[in-house]
Structure 1
Amino acid sequence: MDNESAKDPHLRSWSSTDWRQNETVTPVDGDPSDDGLVAGTLDERRSFGARSAAVVLGQVVARETQGAHEVWAHAAGRDLAVTQLTPEPCRGHLLRATLGDMGFDAGAFDGDLRVRGIIDQKAFSLVSVMEQEGVLNQWGHLVEEGDIIAIPPGGELDGRFQGHVAYAVVTAPWDLLMQRAEAFEGLAEPGFWTGPAIYSPPPEARAACKRVLQGCSSLLRALGGGVPSSAVAFLRNELLDGVLTAVAKVQVGGGRRQGVLNAARIVRGAEDFVEGGGARQAVQIEDICLALNISRRTLYRAFHDLLGISPKAYLRLKAMSAARARLLDAGDRPTTVTQVALDQGFWELGRFAGAYRAMFGESPSETLRTAQGDSLRR
């Protein structure tokens, strides 16, 4: 779309901030920024008393993360399978905010991950790639820094994230998305949003979108755990308008890519077959080829093109990552290391523990104890 988009007059350009910086939450009685908006919001709370004036409609959690599963999978309403493709801990940081019926995630991590699954069953998700080093693809399509991935309710995130990745996710219910889209020519048509898509805005639109998302992230960190009603209303509009403005700048025919490419389709089919077949380690490559009606060579080529590893290596890593996800969930669903290992097809427990430590930087029993400890502290 090369039509000029309408823009709410309150949407401002934010000053650049360091996206990679792991900030600590600033107390609300301090002055976290020279920006007039932040100071004004906090002044409102000071004027009426920090404890009684603001009606808190939003919540913010900001923390360091020790692994990819914490970044992607552990959130309400999500059903994501995360497979770590290379050894060493995948560390990062995460900010997660609820703003009424809308959500906002901002985070970064370093690693090589296969991520597939549903972000939200009921809401629309707009994923902005803030920083990217290495290979990043969705549905087999390459994704560049500044691209926006649009996923309708119940749609799948399906791709590979390699290297350093910083991202932001705006999650909004359908009616709110359509309400804000009315201000942008061409975006208010419901058919525009029916399928998953990757949008590549021009450079100036990418930069403007990044400034808005960074600014909102900084404001949320400054506000701390609770967000007053005045800030919730502002942030909901600002976040959606910032992303929609960038999408509206996409040139017709030049920025929208959707659909699943062949290599991604083959990998998805192999994953679905394995998930339906019980223990992953027992599945043979010949069984997958037969189920998908493809040759062994075609299967190997698809995995190398999409993930850079062989199908057998991927199945081992997928089982190992599934074991970690289960151990991390032990606070809500009690289990043992032995049971998890056997469920994922690892029959030699000593080798499983050694491979697990090499992959994630800690033993499976350490993961289990941490999950159980976190559950007791809730």
Structure 2
Amino acid sequence: MGQVLLVDSRKLDGFEGLQQAVHGSHVDVMQLGRGRLRGTLSHVGIGDFSLSIGAFNVGMRTQRVSSDDRLIIGMLLAAEERVAHWSFDMQLNDVLVIPPLLEHDGVFHGGSAYAAMRFDLNEVATLFAGKARLSDPDTWRSRGHFRADIESGAIASRRLVRIMSHLRDNKYGLTPSTADFWKRSIAECMATNVASSLPPDGNGWLPSARRLIRKVEEFLDDAGTRPVHVSEICAALGVSRRTLHRAFQEVFGLGPVSFLRHKRLCAVHSILHQSAPGSTTVTAVAMQQGFYELGRFSQYYLAMFGERPSQTLGIAAVQAAEDEIARASRFEPGPRTTP
């Protein structure tokens, strides 16, 4: 079950550690700032897809030769001083696109932190489904710099860090279906900041909301209990994220993200309610259904069901014990009477 997820996390003690700043890609590094470099570097690999997050305390010069055949999309998470890639001056949460087989040149004038995902260009249509421009591989064939929206950029940055933290600490591994969900979730963080720099989509066509919702629910029924990302629905049904959102708002009064979260909460509840005592944990089930912020998950769960997930699991254990007692009592002889 855990073979899909590969994790590597280490502390940096010297600039040489940043030569593997992006998982699977070699970077030439030169230290610019004075002092002993300290930092951290973490990689999560999901198949051929990877997410890397690094942080360091002194200025650095980075160069990458044109030997990498994968697309790299990076985000600046923190910077004490100026950061420039090629001729682009980066601000916090900005996104940088490094196409396959293109040389890269970056200068960090002080301590900084970054996130970078690396994957095959052929996966673009899947990972960015529902976003017409972003799902087109041609969008990513030239180097680019996308200025992040201040509010949404900060949210996307925090989500990336939390996703990395929870995947890194995950002891339960990933199934193929949950691995796909996490890849889409990581891509969504990057896409948020890219989309904020693009002109609005002029496609305003909206099919019948109820007909579209019916197709979505049929798709979810076929998916079973595995978590489903919004972009997967957009790809399968050939609709834009905007169209999907408007349909859900019209029919349910809430967006597709909230709807899917409610559905995943219901799946967790059913699994916990039906689980045999000692067969699973709340954490394992929550991760399987795509919840990585366990504190927030517990809040959602309590608000929706009026009980904590541990209580649901406990109720299952009590019910199993009562069922066992009931079964045993059926075979016990009743009180004997004397004539």
TM-score category (smaller protein): 0.5 to 0.7
Partner of 2:182: 235
CA 1:165–1:116 in structure 2 vs 1: closer, same or farther (change >3 Å)? same
Partner of 1:162: 109
Preserved CA contact (<8 Å) 1:117 1:156: yes
Q: How does 1:1-378 map to 2 (within 5 A)?
A: 54-73=1-20, 77-118=24-65, 121-223=68-170, 227-252=174-199
CA 1:75–1:149 in structure 2 vs 1: closer, same or farther (change >3 Å)? closer
Preserved CA contact (<8 Å) 1:105 1:168: yes
Preserved CA contact (<8 Å) 1:121 1:153: yes
CA distance in 1, matches of 2:57, 2:66: 20
Q: Deviations over 1:217-242 (max 9, x none)?
A: 11122215955545422211111122
Preserved CA contact (<8 Å) 1:130 1:168: yes
CA distance in 2, matches of 1:77, 1:251: 29
Q: Which runs of 5+ in 2 are unaligned?
A: 201-339
Count of aligned residue pairs for this structure pair: 200
Q: Deviations over 1:5-53 (max 9, x none)?
A: xxxxxxxxxxxxxxxxxxxxxxxxxxxxxxxxxxxxxxxxxxxxxxxxx
CA distance in 2, matches of 1:101, 1:245: 22
CA 1:74–1:210 in structure 2 vs 1: closer, same or farther (change >3 Å)? closer
CA 1:55–1:111 in structure 2 vs 1: closer, same or farther (change >3 Å)? closer
**Bigger relative contact order, structure 1 or 2 (CA pairs below 8 A, ≥6 apart):** 1
CA distance in 2, matches of 1:89, 1:187: 40
CA distance in 1, matches of 2:29, 2:196: 32
CA distance in 2, matches of 1:200, 1:212: 18
Which moved further from structure 2: 175-184 or 132-141? 175-184
Q: Which runs of 5+ in 1 are unaligned?
A: 1-53, 254-378
Alpha-carbon deviation of 1:252?
A: 3.8
SS of 2:59's equivalent in the other structure is: strand
CA distance in 2, matches of 1:105, 1:212: 14
2:140 is aligned with what amino acid?
A: W
CA distance in 2, matches of 1:252, 1:239: 23
SS of 1:111's equivalent in the other structure is: coil
Partner of 2:321: none
Q: What is the alpha-carbon root mean square deviation over aligned residues?
A: 2.3
Alpha-carbon deviation of 1:210?
A: 0.9
SS of 2:63's equivalent in the other structure is: strand
CA distance in 1, matches of 2:79, 2:21: 22
Q: Greater Rg, structure 1 or structure 2?
A: 2
Preserved CA contact (<8 Å) 1:127 1:148: yes
Which moved further from structure 2: 242-251 or 163-172? 242-251
Q: Deviations over 1:67-89 (max 9, x none)?
A: 22212347664232111123321
Q: Deviations over 1:169-205 (max 9, x none)?
A: 1111111122222311322333321111111021122
CA distance in 1, matches of 2:21, 2:76: 20
| Identical positions, percent | 23
Preserved CA contact (<8 Å) 1:140 1:159: no
Preserved CA contact (<8 Å) 1:73 1:82: no
TM-score (norm 2): 0.54
CA 1:75–1:148 in structure 2 vs 1: closer, same or farther (change >3 Å)? closer
Which moved further from structure 2: 69-78 or 177-186? 69-78
1:210 is aligned with what amino acid?
A: S
SS of 1:195's equivalent in the other structure is: coil
Preserved CA contact (<8 Å) 1:78 1:119: no
